[in-house]
Amino acid sequence: MAEEKSFKYVIVGGGVAAGYAAREFSKQGLKPGELAIISREQVPPYERPALSKGYINLESNNKRSIGFSFVLARFLTILFFSWYTDKATLPGFYVCAGSGGEKQFPQWYKENGIELILDTEIVKADLAAKTLVSGTGQVFKYQTLLAATGSSVTRLSDFGVQGADAKNIFYLRELDDADELVTAMDVKKNGKAVVVGGGYIGLELSSALKVNNLEVTMVYPEPWCMPRLFTAGIASFYEGYYANKGINIVKGTVAAGFSTNSNGEVAEVKLKDGRTLKADIVIVGVGARPIISLFKGQVEEEKGGLKTDAFFKTSVPDVYAIGDIATFPMKLYNEMRRVEHVDHARKSAEQAVKAIKAAEEGKSIPEYDYLPYFYSRAFDLSWQFYGDNVGETVMFGDNDPKSPKPKFGSYWIKEGKLIGAFLEGGTPEENKAIAKVARTQPSVESLNVLSKEGLSFATKI
Ligand SMILES: Cc1cc2nc3c(=O)[nH]c(=O)nc-3n(C[C@H](O)[C@H](O)[C@H](O)COP(=O)(O)OP(=O)(O)OC[C@H]3O[C@@H](n4cnc5c(N)ncnc54)[C@H](O)[C@@H]3O)c2cc1C
């Protein structure tokens, strides 16, 4: 029988939140052997957003693939050979690179006495017995558990879309997914790609595919891209920009099925409106779901996640939930929310660890007071958003997709206060300024004046 291992702290999941929690534990003081991270991934925690950006960039792809078989390239990646590229490859984006921190190589975990248990999936959590069991039957005991299992992609097969299991239909969540996609992009060079979904993944991957010389069509049912955040005005800039780059956008319909060639590879996407699109590669980005099945029936849930307090403590003693899976009190809006973004994954991890350590010393720390922050990058574009996107909106700036250097934004105003701000093409100082107004929520006397003042409304505060 497999040996049972015991730790003071166990983090289940080895993504962004786990990596930042490990750093906070080491800052706060950790004895060797006290902390273990158990992850089903084969590599230490990395900055997941890089997967849809630099990691699938043309230059690095070609350099990564030339002369190597896929397996060998993967092997080299794992062995941390990054000499062949100056683009985003591992170990370049191990946490905490994304926030300007030290990169945590496997050696870092060793030096800090942290046991990194990779390639290990936890299949059972018995929170009453404080025990986790892996797929191979290994048993892990803990005193305090941090659940950091993140999200899994929503698959078209979940909706019974016919042919959705064909070869060359990809999803992107983990490094393995990105490696498979990179290989296919190389094999299907100059081919046709269909991107299903017009959210973050859809927009970022369409740009990456285009940059990699594939012919790209995006398909989404909504009237404009990224409807959860973008207004029609914001979206029309990005749709215009993408169209100018040669990306074909098909709106108002969905992928209803796929046909395959004799190799079982996807050949055509059948749309619900009856049209068909030829495809060598399909990428699906239609959302993600928090992975909480391990804890079902044991922990109180809310809004699809594990309900926590302002210190990420769940309803079960000594069990914390951080990152994508936590539904926590968003103090600023006096509401329980779940946030699937990297900034919150980092900050919630730090908050939970600080709270755990403080409690051990009989101390307390301030409540989590999070300002939502989302961002994305594609082509030469880069936007940031802070705050809440509800209420009336006011756009400002140059949002002509043909401009050589577009810079524009939008404010959201609710009950006479500015509560959200979006900016494309901002400098670091300007981005700081929009973060500040979203946090301080200044009163807005007139939408017309705000529209005229534009970005200077934020920068002068
Ligand atoms: C391609 C991509 C691009 C993104 N880009 C952005 C962006 O530009 N901006 C932004 O704000 N956010 C972005 N995000 C979202 C952001 O990456 C997530 O919000 C963040 O990673 C959440 O951190 P987490 O630690 O909660 O989960 P994750 O980072 O997903 O980590 C969860 C980990 O748990 C492991 N795991 C799950 N179940 C088990 C189990 N049973 N046993 C063992 N291990 C398990 C997983 O394998 C994974 O390693 C992006 C996400 C993706 C997929």
CATH code of the domain in which 46 resides? 3.50.50.60
Q: Judge if the beta carbon of residue 133 lies within 6 A of ligand 1.
A: no
Strand arrangement of the beta sheet that strand 407-414 belongs to: 373-378, 381-387, 417-424, 407-414, 392-398
Query: Do 13 and 144 belong to one domain?
Result: yes
CA of residue 442 to ligand 1 center, whole Å: 34
Q: Judge if the beta carbon of residue 384 lies within 6 A of ligand 1.
A: no
pLDDT of residue 341: 96
> Structural domain tally of the chain?
3
CA of residue 146 to ligand 1 center, whole Å: 15
Query: Do 192 and 224 belong to one domain?
Result: yes
Query: Which of 10, 11, 12, 16 gets mutated to test ligand 1 (max ligand atoms within 8 A of its CB)?
Result: 16
Q: Which of 286, 318, 335 is the last residue of a domain?
A: 286
More confident residue, 387 or 75: 387
CA of residue 219 to ligand 1 center, whole Å: 24
Query: Do 43 and 117 belong to one domain?
Result: yes
Q: What is the token pair recorded at 16?
A: 């962004």
Q: Which of 360, 393, 417 is the last residue of a domain?
A: 360
CA of residue 147 to ligand 1 center, whole Å: 12
Asked whether the predicted pLDDT for residue 67 surpasses 70, the reply is no
CA of residue 132 to ligand 1 center, whole Å: 21
How many Cα neighbours within 13 Å face the side chain of 372?
24
pLDDT tens column, 145-176: 999 999 999 999 999 999 999 999 999 999 99
Query: Do 233 and 307 belong to one domain?
Result: no
Specify if 371 maps to a domain. Answer: no
Query: Do 98 and 169 belong to one domain?
Result: no
CA of residue 43 to ligand 1 center, whole Å: 13
Query: Do 315 and 188 belong to one domain?
Result: no
Residue nearest to atom 27 of ligand 1 (CA): 150
Q: Judge if the beta carbon of residue 40 lies within 6 A of ligand 1.
A: yes
Q: Judge if the beta carbon of residue 52 lies within 6 A of ligand 1.
A: yes
Query: Do 275 and 299 belong to one domain?
Result: no
Query: Do 281 and 225 belong to one domain?
Result: yes
Specify if 132 maps to a domain. Answer: yes
pLDDT of residue 177: 96
Domain that holds residue 238: 156-286
Closest to 265 measured CA to CA, from 349, 206, 191, 173: 191
Query: Do 144 and 178 belong to one domain?
Result: no
Query: Do 221 and 277 belong to one domain?
Result: yes
pLDDT tens column, 355-413: 999 999 999 999 999 999 999 999 999 999 999 999 999 999 999 999 999 999 999 99
Specify if 365 maps to a domain. Answer: no
Q: Which helix (H) or strand (E) holds 270?
A: strand 266-271
Specify if 70 maps to a domain. Answer: no
Query: Do 8 and 147 belong to one domain?
Result: yes
Q: Judge if the beta carbon of residue 150 lies within 6 A of ligand 1.
A: yes
Specify if 127 maps to a domain. Answer: yes
Q: Which of 252, 286, 320 is the last residue of a domain?
A: 286
pLDDT of residue 76: 40
Crossing angle for the helix pair 70-78 and 58-65, to the nearest 10 degrees: 110
CATH of the domain at 414: 3.30.390.30
pTM: 0.93
Asked whether the predicted pLDDT for residue 444 surpasses 50, the reply is yes
Specify if 82 maps to a domain. Answer: no
pLDDT tens column, 165-221: 999 999 999 999 999 999 999 999 999 999 999 999 999 999 999 999 999 999 999
Query: Do 271 and 346 belong to one domain?
Result: no
CA of residue 48 to ligand 1 center, whole Å: 6
Query: Which of 40, 48, 132, 146 gets mutated to test ligand 1 (max ligand atoms within 8 A of its CB)?
Result: 48
Asked whether the predicted pLDDT for residue 73 surpasses 60, the reply is no
Q: Judge if the beta carbon of residue 149 lies within 6 A of ligand 1.
A: yes
Instruction: Report d(CA 148, CA 345) in Å as an integer.
Output: 9
Q: Which helix (H) or strand (E) holds 411?
A: strand 407-414
Instruction: Report d(CA 233, CA 155) in Å as an integer.
Output: 30
Specify if 80 maps to a domain. Answer: no
Specify if 243 maps to a domain. Answer: yes
Closest to 44 measured CA to CA, from 100, 114, 94, 112: 94
Q: What average pLDDT does range 97-124 have in this prediction?
A: 97
Q: Judge if the beta carbon of residue 134 lies within 6 A of ligand 1.
A: no
Report CA dihedral (356, 357, 358, 360) to the nearest 10 degrees. Answer: 90
